[in-house]
Amino acid sequence: MSNAYQVAIVGAGPGDPELLTMKAFRRIQDADVILYDNLVSDPIRALFPKDAEAIYVGKKRHQHSLPQSELNQFIVKLAHEGKQVVRLKGGDPFVFGRGSEELLALIEAGIDAEVIPGITAASGCGSAAGIPLTHRGLTQSCTLVTGHGANDLNLDWSSLARGQQTLVFYMGLSQLAEIRHHLIKHGKRESTPVALIENGSRPNQRVVISTLAAMASDALKHRLTSPTLTYVGEVASLHQQLCSQHSSHPVIAKESA
């Protein structure tokens, strides 16, 4: 790795290999060992150099290959062996990616490390589907929320339900009914537009346009699977206007009944 850092924590973006940054691509090409997550797409894995050791470390829901603490120790061990290590994550390492936890472990071990940001899924998938995070007159802010275990999270649902904002739920597919319940309970309109984006930016991308009231049933009806992002807010209503002119990826739009 032609830089001063022994470990690079790298964001791979939402899946389209052309959305990798140049710096991320260079680090991948120079790596001795690449530790990659479930969300790193096949086309990006095809870019791994043949002489690099590629190790899958999981992070799929309920199928983590290594607990985070053990993974941190493994990265430190590889670095102590003199390996040039790339820790490759879907999206951005510092957005629900535990990149900061791994960086802290490396700092505590005295290992030089860098973080290379990636396009986070909320931005990359939304752009691929013609759904902006902000739009003048429709939204004043954007909030990224982890939907993993939404019923157990100490979320300020009243704040999330308030005002003209776009909510993007990561890892929330299995919690859509809970998310719907809490938002409606705290005042969000049942008719609020919702977009569900499966495999955003990838050739098999699908988009389901729904409403807050119907999103859980529509996700089941269309058999959506992870990774799926949930966009709640008026910007979801722009999908049909923007996607046909804007997106170069196949989009299957399903209107909720």
Answer yes or no: 37 catalytic.
yes
Output the six-digit token pair for 77. 């061990």
Q: Which residue of the set 16, 30, 32, 37 is catalytic?
A: 37
Q: What are phi and psi of 87, to 5 degrees?
A: -100, 105
Distance CA 198, CA 35 (A): 24
Q: What are phi and psi of 256, to 5 degrees?
A: -70, 140
Half-sphere exposure of 44 (CA within 13 A, CB side): 32
246: three-class secondary structure by DSSP: helix
State how far the alpha carbon of 49 is from the alpha carbons of 3, 9, 45, 75, 219, in Å.
18, 17, 9, 19, 38
11 Cβ partners below 8 Å, 6+ apart? 21, 24, 89, 90, 91, 92, 93, 97, 99, 116, 117, 118, 119, 120
Order of all β-strands in the sheet with 7-11: 53-56, 33-36, 85-89, 7-11, 113-116
Q: How many CB atoms lie within 10 A of CB 151?
A: 11
Answer yes or no: 16 catalytic.
no
Q: Identify the H or E element spanning 196.
A: strand 193-198
Q: Which residue of the set 16, 23, 50, 59 is catalytic?
A: 59
Supply the residues annotated as catalytic.
37, 59
